[in-house]
Amino acid sequence: MTRYRSYKRTHAYAKGTTCKRSCAALAILAIAVSPAMAGCGAQETGSTELPKKTDVEVIAFQQPWNSIAKECTETYGPEGVAYVEVSPPQETIEGTQWWTSYQPVSYKLDSKLGTQAEFKNMVEECNTAGVDIIADVVLNQTTGANDKGTQRGVAGTKYNPTTGDYPGFTGNEDQYPKGITKDDFHDYENGASITGYLNQEEVQEGRLSGMWDFDTSSDKVQDIQSDYFAKLYEMGVRGFRIDAAKHIDADDLKAIKEKTATKIGAPAKDIFWVQEVIGNAGEASGIQPSNYFDNGTVTQFAYVTNLKSAFKGSLTSLSDLGERLGDTKRNKFAIPDELANVFVTNWDTARNGQALTYRDGADYALANAFMLAYDYGTPRLISDYGFTASDDGAPGSTATEVPEVDFADECSSADGQWNCQQRWTPIRGMIAFHNYVHGTQVTDWQEHDDNVIAFSRGNKGFIAINNSTDDLKGLEFDTDMPDGEYCDVYGTQDCSTTVTVKGGKVKVDVAAKSAVAIYAGATAKVHPASSVAVDPSTPSW
């Protein structure tokens, strides 16, 4: 017997802008529904657009600029992605490992992922496609301090990690001709590395994994780093992810942001920041998420672990997720909805075992569907690659370059080295769902059993998720959706499977480890046209 709960929440959304797009392909994973409901067919569609973009982000992890530029035009823009987050664009140490991107040797925009000209072109191409770029920015550290002697970055800039000399950090006007020296770094206990997280000073002035730690309280460092932000902003970048933000004093970040705002002539509050902060009881009070709320949005790592626990256990634990993670009166580590940046996984959690990943198959797809259907935080997807060892760089990486990838070719099957999540059928469908229902509340939360849930988003959308291993037939749920015949956007692009709502009820068959999702803008007669039912990149789970 289905159990019913109703949750209504109000939210403040201030993320993303909107733009109109022409009709675009919406590819979605085929799913079992009642035969009586099937058969609308692509030939019955009318002319319609996908919902306008809202706030969906996609991490284009370790992807070259030219590849992202093309994918913005072919996929991200048409499907309604608001932001693409790119890996750090600055010059770094050499090496095939992905983490070399997080050890800058200068703020020159020549990196393993492309040249400054290619970066600028990517930003312009994506902006033209209606997609804004978020740049991952490394402010906390440079390189390991124990590496020996003079070395060169991927663009040829010399640096000496033994002496702490980084002459490539000169500022936009070369106002610091000697660059960064050892005097511009913190010297916590004579260069000690961080060994614990209960001492705020140690966390924010000690060396993370042995890397030189910028003295972000100094005027010189703040000037150089705000110059970097200003340069990126003036090239068209409209968002910034602050790597290792909890390792930087929140007041220092505020000062850097304000200096950036002065240089670009915009209010600091209008500069979109995503700050990497991990809140938990085992860390100092001064590095908890609440310290960073005044600066911008904050990553909600508890969302990652909660989703993994639920999809490996019971989905009913998600019934009050927004309150548990967003109500600061209930949870001192909470991040309010409008400040929370949520995700199923990122590159770190994919490698440390904390999150669901592409290796979890249907669980991973369903968790992303839940995130896009639910009403807490700004959703952040990832487009990454398969890896064996945690250090593995992008396919074909050399010490100085990541080769370009043609996603149209790479994603022509589900067997490529790149995972192509941005093209998967359920991801595309749920991006459209999210954009359409954006700003509404979760209503009519229902639990058929521990692993089968359903809910509406007011009268705009409905989703049922079956995380059990059994095909379930004839499930009946309440919904606020108006009566009508709707396309199952989790299941097919061409509306070859439909769901009927009648009298506030929806009766569906939901296959094992799958879902049914409908929204009021995709009906049997009017929905985005498509020549395929399922995108070829979609895995068979």
- List residues with catalytic annotation: 243, 276
Question: Is 345 in contact with 304 (CB distance < 8 Å)?
Answer: yes
Question: Is 225 in contact with 217 (CB distance < 8 Å)?
Answer: no
What is the number of residues in the chain?
Answer: 541
What are 446's strand-pairing partners?
Answer: 4, 454
In 10 A of CB 141, how many CB atoms? 24
Amino acid type, 236: G
Angle at Cα 48 formed by Cα 45 and Cα 53, nearest 5°?
Answer: 135
Half-sphere exposure (CA, 13 Å, Cβ side) for 348? 12
Question: Is 124 in contact with 138 (CB distance < 8 Å)?
Answer: no
DSSP state of 520: T
Question: Is 185 in contact with 215 (CB distance < 8 Å)?
Answer: yes
Question: Is 443 in contact with 456 (CB distance < 8 Å)?
Answer: yes
Identify the three-state secondary structure at position 18: coil
Spatial distance between the Cα atoms of 448 and 41, rounded to a whole number of angstroms: 30
Going 463 to 469 to 474 to 475, the CA torsion angle's sign is negative
Amino acid type, 41: G
